[in-house]
Amino acid sequence: MPAPIRLRELIRTIRTARTQAEEREMIQKESAAIRSSFREEDNTYRCRNVAKLLYMHMLGYPAHFGQLECLKLIASQKFTDKRIGYLGAMLLLDERQDVHLLMTNCIKNDLNHSTQYVQGLALCTLGCMGSSEMCRDLAGEVEKLLKTSNSYLRKKAALCAVHVIRKVPELMEMFLPATKNLLSEKNHGVLHTSVVLLTEMCERSPDMLSHFRKLVPQLVRILKNLIMSGYSPEHDVSGISDPFLQVRILRLLRILGKGDDDSSEAMNDILAQVATNTETSKNVGNAILYETVLTIMDIKSESGLRVLAINILGRFLLNNDKNIRYVALTSLLKTVQTDHNAVQRHRSTIVDCLKDLDVSIKRRAMELSFALVNGNNIRGMMKELLYFLDSCDPEFKADCASGIFLAAEKYAPSKRWHIDTIMRVLTTAGSYVRDDCVPNLIQLITNSVEMHAYTVQRLYKALLDDISQQPFVQVSSWCIGEYGDLLVSGQCEEEDPIQVTEDEVLDVLEGLLASNLSSPVTRGYALTAVMKLSTRLSSVNRIKKVVSIYGSSIDVELQQRAVEYNALFKKYDHMRCALLERMPIMEKAAANGPTETVQTNGEAEPAGLEPKHPPTIIQPANQANDLLDLLGGNDVVPVISTAPAMKPASAGGELLDLLGGLSLSAPTPAPPIPMSQPPFLLDGLSSQPLFNDIATGIPPMTAYNKNGLKIDFTFERSNTNPNIAIITIHAANSTEAEMTNFVFQAAVPKTFQLQLLSPSSSIIPALNQGPVTQVIKVLNPQKQQLRMRIKLTYNHKGSPVQDLAEVNNFPPQSWQ
């Protein structure tokens, strides 16, 4: 058999191949030759063949048949054979193959070989791919070599020990005695690997950590020598003496100093020294500084040092080198939790990084920006973030949009700003927002009552431009459905109202229904919006036509809706108004925060004492199907979001039943109101700026006067909705004893709607000393005569009192 070709030849041949197929053919031919050569047990050329095999393995071709050959090479006496044999073992073998155990004996022998390079090979192989069994068997040998004076072997033994510890953690104690004088070595290679070994041991075991704390002074000394020693040619990298060792030591110091005052104190000086003396013009200097900064932030350093560290990071941010900027952003992200104020100082630089071309830097800057947003800088930051959202890659848009929503929710300075921001996000990145933002946004819009006209106008205008972004279109069509009347009547206060006719509004909605861009969900929204407009606009016939067309739509969901709405027109027309009334304010399903009643009342009485605090409305996501839920839910005029009283509205409820139902059971706690609402809550108590303060000339009346309790009604008209009358009751107690646990309940005929706000107090002081007030809002769309039945319960002189009364003497102006 001719001598197998050399590795060089093989490589040359393979390079001449012009196609993948040609290459494969050549490799297969050579593989076959190698295999037959192996079968012949040829010792001379085995190393050559294995070398070729490794080359083919690198290109991706199968080479497993060479595994045993590697073992044979390792067992050979020649250094050449051993060298390639061990390399092959490291590349081709691993602990999953049983074959590898056969190596154990060879390695053991080689660890005790007379030639240090053979020992080195053995250590290297054991340290790379030694399995736990092998490590257990050979740990003793490694430990012996750890104590040798030969620095070449010592450093390899140290790293091998790390591997052994990783595979078999129980053996860690075994290496402890050998570590005693590792740090007194002069050789930097040994020092370096020793520090790695110590680091590994400290990370794995807290006992070791406390044991090694006593090494801190020694480490500090070594570091000092490195910095002060001046130029030493063998360890020099770009003018700094062995930066790799410095970085390693700093890292170990970080682990040792974390959470420990004494060690941290011992390190303070040297850290300050490194931080101020290191050259920053080259990458090496920056690597050391970076490590120093991380260490300073992690240990219990003094505040001066921390400030120094953050300033270094700030300088990094201004560096031209992108790598440095990236690294600075990463570490600022880690420290922003603990040193928030210090990082805030660099906010403008961080925000500038958003405009960087580099994807990695942009991502880091975005994360950091979100972490830095707070109530003070929200406006400025949001501007930058919105600009970023406009121009960034699609992979960022989803994260950015979610981040913006969260930040806006937490820190929005005003409702209008909040709504503007969200609309901006929807119009720029509308297709990337998460699904739950649509209901969240709708809830937000419902809650900001005075912004309804403004919101719907802006949404309408934006909708005219672009109907392709589904979440945005869904929100817009919902709003147009709800507040279409405001749109058409041009009531916007915040900006110039636009002139929109009913037909134009319906055109837009019909366009959405017909467009190919709209998803089925969007169409559902649009159809329901059209239907809602039937009670708000006057072009009912047109709406009827639209709805009946979709009664035969292919989409089952759409068809069902259309058919049901059709039925609403035909058979249930009397219910249509009630069903399609304005949505009440929705509360978030999950209460986030303590359920204080402080928001609704001057007093912070827990909900239990005030059975008057009725259950809140928890409206689920506002899919249009909720319309039908309104029947079972509560029809309350949506105004201020204090805990609204509910009349459990059964669609034909009698007055008496309603009252009975009002002695309510478990009062659920008042919902937490989003923080941007405080002005409104307090207003609920006293004068309501929303409402027309000036008496519109409706005379007050006495509703009830018995047993010393006198209740007066005063009237106002709401100026957002002329159908709403606001009645303020004043309850006064002329007896000598106070009345406690005072509860006022009211019911009205079914064509009305009632909302009862919380009373100012449940105790009416004696002798007319201070009346208790409570606000009732009555919606009277059909302008019928107002009648009211009231029920009073209170404790007087220790005994409970209950009374029912009917109030019929309302002045005509209050309900016309």
Partner 1 sequence: MIKAILIFNNHGKPRLIRFYQYFAEDMQQQIIRETFHLVSKRDDNVCNFLEGGSLIGGSDYKLIYRHYATLYFVFCVDSSESELGILDLIQVFVETLDKCFENVCELDLIFHMDKVHYILQEVVMGGMVLETNMNEIVAQVELQNRMEKSEFVFISRM
87 touching partner 1, by CB under 8 A: yes
Looking at the Cβ atoms of 199 and 599, the one nearer to partner 1 is: 199
Residue 43: count of CB within 10 angstroms of its CB: 12
Instruction: Give φ, ψ of 694 to 5 degrees.
Output: -70, 125
Q: Which residues pair with 425 in a beta bridge?
A: none
**Rounded to the nearest whole angstrom, what is the least distance from the CB of residue 79 to partner 1 in the complex?**
5
Rounded Cα distance between 515 and 526, Å, is: 11
Is the Cβ–Cβ distance between 751 and 711 less than 8 Å?
no
Taking the least distance from each CB to partner 1, the nearer of 170 and 234 is 234
Asked if 465 touches partner 1 (CB under 8 A), the answer is no
Query: x-or-dash pattern for partner 1, window 419-458, by CB under 8 A?
Result: ----------------------------------------
φ, ψ for residue 140, nearest 5 deg: -60, -45
Q: Does 65 bind partner 1 (CB under 8 A)?
A: no
CB of 178 to partner 1, least distance (A): 18
Q: Pick the piece of the chain touching partner 1 (CB under 8 A) from 149-157, 174-182, 262-270, 650-658.
A: 149-157
- Residue placing its CB nearer to partner 1 in the complex, 24 or 783: 24
Please provide the distance, in angstroms rounded to a whole number, between the alpha carbons at the two ends of the chain.
116
Q: Is 266 in the site for partner 1 (CB under 8 A)?
A: no
Q: Around Cβ 573, how many Cβ atoms within 10 Å?
A: 11
Q: In the complex, what is the shortest distance from the CB of residue 3 to partner 1, in angstroms, rounded to a whole number? A: 7
* Shortest Cβ 373–partner 1 spacing (Å): 23
Residue nearer to partner 1 on the CB measure, 168 or 649: 168
Q: Which of 140, 135, 133, 112 is nearest to 125 (CA)?
A: 135
* Nearer CB in complex with partner 1: 6/570: 6
Q: Which of residues 668-687 bind partner 1 (CB under 8 A)?
A: none
Q: Does 417 bind partner 1 (CB under 8 A)?
A: no
What is the distance between the alpha carbons of residues 702 and 713, in angstroms, rounded to a whole number? 6
Q: How far is the CB of 746 from partner 1 (least distance, A)?
A: 59
* Amino acid type, 556: V
Interface pick for partner 1 out of 27, 160, 305, 562 (rule CB under 8 A): 160
Binding of partner 1 by 21 (CB under 8 A): no
- Answer for which of 41, 98, 234, 435 binds partner 1 (CB under 8 A) is 234
Strand pairing of 709-717 and 753-756? unpaired
Closer residue to partner 1 in complex, CB, 55/569: 55
286 binds partner 1 (CB under 8 A): yes
Q: If we measure between CA atoms, which residue out of 400, 373, 372 comes closest to residue 386?
A: 400
Q: How far is CA 450 from CA 416, 483, 489, in A?
A: 9, 12, 15
From the list 91-99, 390-398, 523-531, 661-669, the region that binds partner 1 by CB under 8 A is 91-99
**Residue 700 DSSP label:** P
If binding is defined by CB under 8 A, does position 387 make contact with partner 1?
A: no
Q: Does 235 bind partner 1 (CB under 8 A)?
A: yes
Alpha-carbon gap, residue 470 to 455, rounded angstroms: 18
C-alpha separations of 221 from 17, 197, 252, 297, 476 in Å: 59, 19, 14, 21, 68
| 290 sits near partner 1 (criterion: CB under 8 A) | yes
Stretch that binds partner 1, among 40-48, 67-75, 548-556, 571-579 (CB under 8 A): 40-48
Would you give the DSSP letter of residue 782? T
Question: Which residues, 125 to 144, sit near partner 1 by CB under 8 A?
Answer: 127-128
Considering only residues 2, 60, 206, 394, which one is a binding residue for partner 1 as defined by CB under 8 A?
Answer: 60
Q: List Cβ neighbours of 729 (8 Å cut-off, separation of 6 or more).
A: 703, 711, 712, 713, 744, 773, 774, 775, 776
Among 70, 162, 183, 732, binds partner 1 (CB under 8 A): 162
Rounded least distance, CB 103 to partner 1, Å: 16
Contacting partner 1 within 327-386 (CB under 8 A): 327, 357-361
Spatial separation of the C-alpha atoms in residues 234 and 194, rounded to whole Å? 19
By beta-carbon proximity to partner 1, the closer residue of 287 and 624 is 287
42, 95, 367, 450: residue in contact with partner 1 (rule CB under 8 A): 95
Minimal distance, residue 20 CB to partner 1, in Å: 11
Does position 17 interact with partner 1 (CB under 8 A)? The reply is: no
CA 756, 762, 766, 769 torsion: positive or negative? negative
- Across the beta sheet with 753-756, what order do the strands follow? 701-706, 709-717, 724-733, 772-779, 753-756
Would you tell me how many other CB atoms lie within 10 Å of the CB of residue 378?
19
Among 26, 51, 371, 521, indicate the residue that binds partner 1 (CB under 8 A).
51
Of positions 34, 70, 84, 729, contacts partner 1 by CB under 8 A: 84
Of 77 and 303, which CB lies nearer to partner 1 in the complex structure?
77
- The answer to whether 149 contacts partner 1 (rule: CB under 8 A) is no
Q: Which stretch binds partner 1 (CB under 8 A): 105-113, 159-167, 269-277, 456-464?
A: 159-167
CB of residue 225 vs partner 1: minimum separation in angstroms?
A: 16
Given 32, 36, 58, 144, the residue binding partner 1 (CB under 8 A): 58
Neighbours of 459 (CB within 10 A): 25
Cα 609-613-619 angle, rounded to 5 deg:
140
Task: Please tell me whether residue 159 binds partner 1 under the rule CB under 8 A.
Answer: yes
Residue number, 179 or 688, with CB nearest to partner 1: 179
Instruction: By CB under 8 A, tell whether 391 contacts partner 1.
Output: no
Task: Please pick, from the candidates 27, 30, 37, 156, the single residue that binds partner 1 as defined by CB under 8 A.
Answer: 156
Query: Quick one: 355 or 544, whose CB is closer to partner 1?
Result: 355
Q: Which stretch binds partner 1 (CB under 8 A): 158-166, 488-496, 647-655, 745-753?
A: 158-166
Which residues, other chains included, contact 432 with Cβ-Cβ below 8 Å and sequence gap of 6+?
394, 397, 398, 401
CB of 115 to partner 1, least distance (A): 8
Query: Does 202 contact partner 1 by CB under 8 A?
Result: no
In the complex, least distance from residue 91 CB atom to partner 1, rounded to whole angstroms: 8
Q: Looking at 152, 387, 417, 569, which residue binds partner 1 (CB under 8 A)?
A: 152
How many residues lie near partner 1 (CB under 8 A)? 72
Q: Are 646 and 634 in contact (CB under 8 A)?
A: yes
Largest Cα–Cα separation, the chain:
125
Q: Which of residues 179-198 bind partner 1 (CB under 8 A)?
A: 188-189, 192-193, 196
C-alpha to C-alpha distance for 324 and 313, rounded to whole angstroms: 9
Task: Determine the 3-state secondary structure of 788 from DSSP.
Answer: strand
Q: How far apart are CA 316 and CA 634, in angstroms?
A: 59
Q: Are 692 and 717 contacting, i.e. CB atoms less than 8 angstroms apart?
A: yes
Q: What is the CA radius of gyration of the chain?
A: 40
Considering beta carbons, is residue 94 or 173 the nearer one to partner 1? 94
Written as one letter, the residue type at 788 is M
Looking at residues 294 to 323 of the shown chain, list those that interact with partner 1 (rule: CB under 8 A): 322-323
Residue reference for tokens 């790379």: 128
Report which of 401, 330, 399, 397 is spatially closest to residue 368, judged by C-alpha positions.
330
Tell me: does residue 99 bind partner 1 (CB under 8 A): no
Of the listed pieces 32-40, 137-145, 231-239, 689-697, which binds partner 1 according to CB under 8 A? Answer: 231-239
- Of 94, 390, 495, 657, the one binding partner 1 (CB under 8 A) is 94
Give 267's contacts (C-beta < 8 A, 6+ positions apart).
216, 220, 253, 257, 295, 299, 301
Place of tokens 């929503």: 405
Q: What is the 3-state secondary structure (H, E, C) of 181-218?
A: CHHHCCCHHHHHHHHHHHHHHHHHCHHHHHHHHHHHHH
- Least separation, in Å, of the C-beta of 482 and partner 1? 43
Rounded to whole angstroms, the Cα distance separating 773 from 788 reads: 17
